[in-house]
Every structure is written in C-alpha cells, then in structure tokens.
Amino acid sequence: MISRAHPLGEKKEGDRTAVTGLVALMLVLWLGFVVHQSERFAGSLRGGLLGILGALLLLVPLAYSVVKRVPPLRRAVTTRVPMRTLLAVHVYAGILGPILGLLHSGHKFQSPLGIALTAMMLVAVLSGFVGRYLLSQISEEISEKQEMLKTLKDTYHVAARQLASMPIQTGQAEGPAGIVARLSRWMFVPERSVEAAPAIPRRLVQLTHSIADLEYGIKMHELFKGLFAKWLKVHLVISYSVYVLLALHVWSALRFGLRWLS
C-alpha cells in the first residue's frame, strides 16, 4: 500500500521551513554590521521607507494579540478569516518587520535606543520561534508516544492473558499470585537467563521495559511543554517591550526631524 502524506501536515512542514529560513536570514542580516555600516542610510528616503514599512509590519502581531484576547472582536474577525490564517500572518509579519528594521538601520548601531530596539526585536523573534515551533513539536511527540504506549499496554495485556492460561507443571491453572510470582522470576533474573526464557515471559519483560521508557519519556516531554508554555508568557512581555521602544524610536525620529523629507 502506498502511503500519502497528509496535505495539512505538508503545509505545516512547509511553513516551518519557510519561517526557519526567514529567522536564519534575520540573523545573517544582523551579523552584517561586521562587514557593512552606513552612517546615513537610516535617514535616507529608502532607509526611511524601509523603517516605516517595518514598523507597520510590527503592528500586525499587536493587532493579532488584541483580536485573540477580545472575544467580541475575535468572533467578528474569525467569521471572515480563520485564526489559523491570522496566526500565519502574525508569524510572518513578526519576522519580516525586524528584517526590514535591520535593513533600515544600515547596521549603524550607535544610538542606545536603536541598539535596545534591535536587540529586543531579535529576542522577540527568537523567543516566539522557539515557543511556537518547539512547543508544537513537543506536543506532536507526546501524542505519538501516547499512541505507542497504548499499543504496548494492549500487547502486554494480551501476552499476560496468554501467560495466565498456561498450565503449571501439575496441570492445574495458576492463580493471580502465581502469575505475578512467575513473571517476577523472569523480570529479576540475569540477562542470560532472560534470553533463555520461554517466549511469552521474555516478551512480557521486554514490554515492561518499553512501557517504563515511554512513560518516562512522556513525563519529560510534558515537563518541557510546561516550561515552554511559561516561555510564551515571557515572549509576550518581550514583545510589548518592543512596542514601547518602537514608540520611543518613532517619537525620536519625529522630534529630531526626518532628513530625507528636508
């Protein structure tokens, strides 16, 4: 049978690849100050337009946050545009805005306000990327492990019933206490003895180890999921700090004049 990938899964993987590429591009542009610096580009016509467009794109995530957290507004908007689409717009705008901001700077990082704004934009993008995609990856892995755990437990119960139905040497059926004792003997004997054990008890020992490993793995994934959920709250604080710094940056540009308009 030929398996076909789910279209939604392919789209999700494609989005993840595209976003990862944009984040990598942003980091490369940031490191560009090593080989390039322009003293006047930020105040030029092209630099100013890039800055304005970048600032407008940075407002899109703020709009998404408001729509998501105001129920009446959310109901009104999602009747026309699904939240999945709004989230995708939020992600791409939240990365493209800082990219244009870096181009706007001309790699001239001299102003304390400009340095702080650039640094917070980078941290906001990276924190959002980590929280959005690693949290999603962890959730998928938890679901897969839970399905595997259910399958292993079902297999274990079938093997245990087969072991229970096996007669003892006297030809009589073995009670529950005897079954536990028999299985315990196979679980706590040296490895060589386990290899020489009958198929069903040996299989039960292997299943027990696999179940224990999976349960431990699920607990660790759930721990990391909880940590990343808290990290998303940190991302929100960082994002709001970006808007404060952006407002100050715009005020500073208006206060001291836009050279490309003069």
Residue with more model confidence, 189 or 23: 23
Range of the domain at 249: 14-134+231-261
CB within 8 A of 6, min separation 6: which ones?
A: none
Residue with tokens 């005020």: 251
Residue 141 lies in a domain: no
Instruction: Report pLDDT for 185.
Output: 54
Residue with more model confidence, 184 or 59: 59
Residue with tokens 């001299």: 110
Stretch 188-211: mean pLDDT:
63
Q: What is the pLDDT of residues 236-252, one digit of tens each?
A: 889 899 999 999 988 88
CB within 8 A of 86, min separation 6: which ones?
A: 64, 67, 68, 77, 78
26/128 same-domain check: yes
Is the pLDDT at 164 greater than 50? The verdict is yes
Instruction: Report pLDDT for 9.
Output: 53
Show the tokens assigned to 8.
Answer: 């939604």
252/189 same-domain check: no
129/184 same-domain check: no
Residue 221 lies in a domain: no
Q: Are 38 and 108 in contact (CB under 8 A)?
A: yes
pTM reported for the whole predicted model: 0.65
State the DSSP string of the chain. Answer: ------HHHHHHHHHHHHHHHHHHHHHHHHGGGGT---SSGGGSHHHHHHHHHHHHHHHHHHHHHHHHH-HHHHHHHHTTS-HHHHHHHHHHHHHHHHHHHHHHHTT---SHHHHHHHHHHHHHHHHHHIIIIIHHHHHHHHHHHHHHHHHHHHHHHHHHHHHHHS--TTSPPP-HHHHHHHHHHHHTS-HHHHHTS-HHHHHHHHHHHHHHHHHHHHHHHHHHHHHHHHHHHHHHHHHHHHHHHHHHHHHHHHHH--GGG-
Q: How confident is the model at residue 56 (pLDDT cuts 50, 70, 90)?
A: very high
Is the pLDDT at 4 greater than 50? The verdict is no
- Distance CA(211)–CA(159), nearest Å, equals 14
Residue with more model confidence, 221 or 3: 221
Residue 142 lies in a domain: no
Is the pLDDT at 223 greater than 90? The verdict is no
Residue 50 lies in a domain: yes
Instruction: Report pLDDT for 11.
Output: 64
Residue 109 lies in a domain: yes
Is the pLDDT at 78 greater than 70? The verdict is yes
Residue 5 lies in a domain: no
Specify the range with the lowest mean pLDDT, choosing from 26-30, 31-35, 101-105.
31-35
